[in-house]
Structure 1
Amino acid sequence: MVTLKKITLAELPYLWEISYKSSSPLWVEYDAPYLHTYEALTWDKFNKEQKPFFLSEQVQGIYHNGLLIGATTYYWESRETSWLEIGLVIFEEKHWGQGFGKSAVWQLVDQLFNKFPEIQRLGYTTWSKNVGMIALGESLKFKQEGRLRKTVYYEETYFDIIKMGILRDEWKRKLNENHC
């Protein structure tokens, strides 16, 4: 069973262990590494730099049978125009490919459409190397709204930027399909 809930202060040491302690965690290879250089963090540096983010209102932990395995987030691309985006990370490879991310995004999208009745669309950005995130979106009826071809040059290869999105009425139809 996958649930979303606020990450607690007491969980931060475990979160650090699965996210930023290692010098080269695999999750970083898919989390837009072309935008930033990852560096392993000491506990003190994690506590100083990442704690505010992980304890913020926009972040929820992803829990599988009570165990913290990742995080979801949302952020305003433009509050004035009601442009809301989401993000997801599952830190350890052993939890990938089992539907945990799909369940987390399902819950997050439902929460956000309920929390913000003014928004008509939710979306996220990924890249063509992250086939898991593309497939996850497609399985939830997100549409590929944009593909910026060969936009990212990373490790001597060009990759596409992928924009995925779903409209409120599409989400309602998806909910109705699953309750019939």
Structure 2
Amino acid sequence: MEGLDLHLRPWRVSDLEEMARWHVSGATWRRFDAPYLPPASAAAMVEQVRAWLLRPPAVAESLVVADSDSDRLLGRVWRYWQCRDSRWLSTGVVLYDPTYWHRGLGYQALGLWCEHLFTVMTDLRRLDLRTWSGNPAMMRLAARLGFVEEGRFRRAREVDGVHYDALAYGVLREEWRSRYPAGFAQALTRRVPDSTVLAAP
């Protein structure tokens, strides 16, 4: 899946060392990616990716966000079920390296991923993403892609002694298709910087 400055691709064994390097205590991206939850360890993330490499799911659970020129791992997109019976899926994106933030890459990556999920999962009814009010960049990204704020749980998240709102955004299949009738990639006609950091799981 090709964007303007990046592409989404499957995981490779060569990505594991780079990913582990970003999953360290004190990494800047962790301040935004659900800091109210216990962080996943580098070892746990590496083992999960190894499992995907050994037994790839029919539809990828996660893909690498890679730089178009170097193919270097910049981050990842993912999905997980909220409810299989109602075909309700959650998704998210993270860009690890702060030097790649504020360049519209989150918009490209998550938009391509959502388009892919709606295309290959033909009975998928809706996508949602979860974040918190301490990540305004993710809130802006959700709105820019066409997600609607569907839930706000006031003062539900505590970070460093400060209480923030927990937020849920969603988009229905018909809303996505109406917004991007020719597919999301066709909407990527020019570079539009944004301040996307990442999505919280």
TM-score relative to the length of structure 1: 0.88
Unaligned runs of at least 5 residues, structure 2: 53-59, 188-201
- 1:51 pairs with 46, 50, 57, which one? 46
Deviations 1:9-59 (A, max 9, x none): 122112222x11x430011111111111466x5xxxx2xx22232353301
Q: What is the aligned partner in structure 2 of residue 10 from structure 1?
A: 14
Counterpart-to-counterpart distance in 2, 1:52 and 1:84: 23
Higher helix share: 1
2:169 is equivalent to residue 174 of structure 1: no
Counterpart-to-counterpart distance in 1, 2:108 and 2:39: 29
Q: Letter of the 2:119 partner, please give it.
A: N
Over the matched positions of the two proteins, sequence identity in percent amounts to 26
SS in 2 for 1:176: coil
Q: Which has the higher contact order (CA 8 A, sep 6+)?
A: 2
Kindly tell me the number of residue pairs found equivalent between the two proteins: 171
Contact between 2:126 and 2:170, CA under 8 Å: does it hold in 1? yes
Q: What is the aligned partner in structure 1 of residue 55 from structure 2?
A: none
Q: What is the aligned partner in structure 1 of residue 36 from structure 2?
A: 34
2:65 is equivalent to residue 62 of structure 1: yes
What's the RMSD between the two structures over aligned residues? 1.8
Counterpart-to-counterpart distance in 2, 1:175 and 1:81: 23
Unaligned runs of at least 5 residues, structure 1: none
SS in 2 for 1:50: helix
TM-score relative to the length of structure 2: 0.79
SS in 1 for 2:34: coil
